[in-house]
Amino acid sequence: MIVLDANVLIEILKDNQSTIKKVESFNSPLAISAITVMELFYGVLNKAEVKKLEKFTTLFEVIDINEAISKQSTTLIKTYAKSHNLDIPDGLIASTALVLNAPLFTYNLKDFRFIDGLEFV
């Protein structure tokens, strides 16, 4: 399984062909955090975009925030919020990948690269 960050999904929605080809080349199931879904819906402009996004998000396995992800995220926030400005959404996304033992595909490596044990595509 590979966890996709919101910035990757935004590039797919913009029809960025290099991102689409990269994602299509993965031989693993694709997952997104429930927090990523929330981030995407937060950014929509109108009801038409909501409908488009509802259909788009069904293409991926949405991983809900559970107890394990919550606990892992709390640990990450305690460890990295002050030293590296890790925010809560990124903490939850990183925790989703860590709990699933899955790599994260993101274009914002600077937001995550300091997290011990987190792998990237």
The arithmetic mean of pLDDT across residues 2-8, rounded, is 98
The arithmetic mean of pLDDT across residues 104-109, rounded, is 97
Under a CB-based contact definition with an 8 Å cutoff, are residues 29 and 60 in contact? no
Task: Tell me how far apart the alpha carbons of residues 97 and 103 are, in angstroms, rounded to a whole number.
Answer: 6
In the chain, where the domains are located: 2-111
The arithmetic mean of pLDDT across residues 65-71, rounded, is 98
Under a CB-based contact definition with an 8 Å cutoff, are residues 3 and 63 in contact? yes
CATH 3.40.50.1010 describes domain 2-111: yes
On whether the pTM is more than 0.85, the answer is: yes
> Which pLDDT tens digit goes with each residue over 20-57?
999 999 999 999 999 999 999 999 999 999 999 999 99
pLDDT of residue 62: 98
Phi, psi of 30 (to 5 degrees): -110, 135
